[in-house]
Amino acid sequence: LPWSGIDRYTFASVQPVPESLVVPHGEDVQFQLLLQQQSRWRPQQASAAVAGRQLAAPLNADQYTFSLPARTQMDTLQLRVGDWTGQIQLQVAERPELKSAAALVTLPAYLQYSRPVRMDIRGGAVSILTGSHATIEAEVTRDLTSASINGQPAAVRNSVLQSAQLPINAPESLELQWQDVLGLAARNAFKVQVNAVADRQPEVQLRALEPQAVVLDTDAVKFDLQSRDDFGLRQVGLEWRGVPDPVNNPEPQTGSRIVETGSPELLKAGGQTVFCAATEHVPAQTLELRAWAEDYLDGRGRIYSSPIVIHVMTAEQHAVWLMEQLRRWAGTADDVYEEEMRLHDVNRQIRQMAPEQFDQPTVRRQIEQQAAAEKANGQRLDAVVMQGEDLIRQAMRNREILAGHVETWAQGLQKLQDISQNRMPSVSRLLSQAAASRSSSQPQPKGNQVPQITDVESGFNPPADNAAAQQQPGNKPANSRLGLPSTVVQGGPQPPPGQTPPAADQPMDQSVHQQADLLAEFLKVR
């Protein structure tokens, strides 16, 4: 009957098609149209139309495969196979993408962890301790209908997929796939490389906060101890061991103490710690101090830091050692003094040269070398002063050394510091000025003298007999011009001939005098 719901008979029979189909946004997709086995007509080609475009697909194994162009909005797909026609509403949606992925790792029992460890795997790789068990969990942007890991079905809960527990004993590659409620799958499977790793040993470091090789047995030496582990620290501590010596330390002592007790999930431990030989009942000797750390792996034992060597002395031993160091220090200071004396002798010889010799290149180079040597010797003395300051700090810690002696040493050290930081640099600068100065004994080039109108005023002094100062007729310059008139007071005193020192001689003379003064001050400290 007209307008009844009876299906129209066709010779070409096609498998039922959905009323609507969701396609991924902006992507070309393949659509397959299947013929039924009992179809009486099997056309060699089917056609389709979408968004004004005509498509054709040949028959291949009872199916037609159409390549649908990328869509960004809803549309209708018109289909024709022989005398059969149909249409499908195309819906557009984004593919379900990965939001998060993690491995829930149950660590081996010896680590004593109270809960699984969550490790992010979005980067596509994860390192898991050998002997652990891991559950892979991933969340996507849309609710799922199915998922698989390496082809094995995975549990699905809303938008989350989860694997069964996987034993971690060797490296393994995992491939995660899923399909959402719209029938869309991820563009590509998510791949994860799982690496099985061993339990690494702890890292431990020991650093002296105030480095010093020699300490008193009553000194509290401060150290910074730091340790870390990949899973957990059981405890960290400090160990000391005497350095064996057949004469001075035939029976070295050893000892240890815990600095901090750890816990299964404590990854970092340490801080400042103090060692005092008297408190630990360790006699004076040379010691090696090391920090140590233990983790929870059975049979591993302690892991040690690099050693720090200290020489522990009694107050009497320290005083004897300090006197020896002071003698050596005084010898080094004497070397600086002797070098300064040598430089002073050379400077005196240069000062005694004739004025015209100062402009000779060899003399200027010699003065420059003297300036550089003076600067270097000042730097040597500065290093000597720093060594002396260290020795004074050592002496202040020893009750066996009188305070008056320490004060005397400190006063002498202040004088040496003034010499190295002020006086010797001043001598070096004067020598550099002398090397750069031009001797006044050399004739200076004279330009054209401009004639002037000069009004000579009589003074109280008798006029000087200086013929060169008077105007001589007939010596008018070629380019003559008149300047402003000036007044000269006649009869001023003139320096006697030969009394004006050369320009280079003045800083040279000052450097020699200053060097003599600093040597005299240096001699008082020796």
In the prediction, which pLDDT does 7 show?
66
Beta strand 214-216 with 308-313 is parallel
Q: Kindly report, residue by residue over 375-411, the tens digit of the pLDDT.
A: 999 999 999 999 999 998 888 888 878 778 888 888 8
Neighbours of 397 (CB within 10 A): 15
Longest CA–CA span in the chain (Å) reads 156
Sign of the dihedral through C-alpha 348, 350, 353, 356:
negative
Residue 386, CB half-sphere, CA atoms under 13 Å: how many? Answer: 7
Q: Kindly report, residue by residue over 136-160, the tens digit of the pLDDT.
A: 999 999 999 999 999 999 999 999 9
Secondary structure letter of residue 121 according to DSSP: -
Together in a domain, 293 and 353? no
Together in a domain, 135 and 102? yes
Q: Kindly report, residue by residue over 193-228, the tens digit of the pLDDT.
A: 999 999 999 999 999 998 888 999 999 999 999 999
Together in a domain, 353 and 370? yes
User: Strands, DSSP E only, in 82-171?
Assistant: 84-93, 98-106, 117-120, 125-129, 133-140, 144-149, 152-153, 155-157, 160-162, 166-167
Together in a domain, 333 and 406? yes
pLDDT band at 499; cut points 50, 70, 90: very low
Query: Which residue range is the domain that position 329 belongs to?
Result: 317-436
Q: Choose among 179, 177, 178, 174: nearest CA to 191.
A: 174
Torsion of CA 100, 106, 110, 115, to 10 degrees: 80
pLDDT band at 123; cut points 50, 70, 90: very high
Residues comprising the chain, all counted = 526
Q: Is pLDDT of 2 > 60?
A: no
pLDDT band at 485; cut points 50, 70, 90: very low
CATH of the domain at 111: 2.60.40
Domain ends where: 42, 64, 93?
Answer: 93
- Is 384 inside any structural domain? yes
User: Taking the mean position of all CA atoms in its chain, how far away is CA 394?
Assistant: 34
Give the gyration radius of the chain's Cα atoms.
49
In the prediction, which pLDDT does 473 show?
43
In the prediction, which pLDDT does 526 show?
74
Token pair, residue 126, equals: 């994860």
In the prediction, which pLDDT does 248 show?
78
Neighbours of 347 (CB within 10 A): 25
CATH of the domain at 80: 2.60.40.10
Distances (CA, A) of 441 to 31, 357, 358, 435, 494: 108, 10, 10, 15, 18
Token pair, residue 484, equals: 């402003």
Q: Kindly report, residue by residue over 272-326, the tens digit of the pLDDT.
A: 999 999 999 999 999 999 999 999 999 999 999 999 999 999 999 999 999 899 9
Share of the chain above pLDDT 70, in %: 86
- Is 393 inside any structural domain? yes
In the prediction, which pLDDT does 4 show?
54
Together in a domain, 357 and 252? no
Residue 382: Cβ-neighbour burial (10 angstroms; 0-12, 13-18, 19+): middle
Q: Is pLDDT of 190 > 90?
A: yes
Q: Kindly report, residue by residue over 429-473, the tens digit of the pLDDT.
A: 999 998 887 554 444 444 444 445 444 444 444 444 443 334 444
- Is 519 inside any structural domain? no
Q: Kindly report, residue by residue over 236-261, the tens digit of the pLDDT.
A: 999 999 999 887 788 888 999 999 99
Q: Kindly report, residue by residue over 125-134, the tens digit of the pLDDT.
A: 999 999 999 9
Average model confidence (pLDDT) across the chain:
86
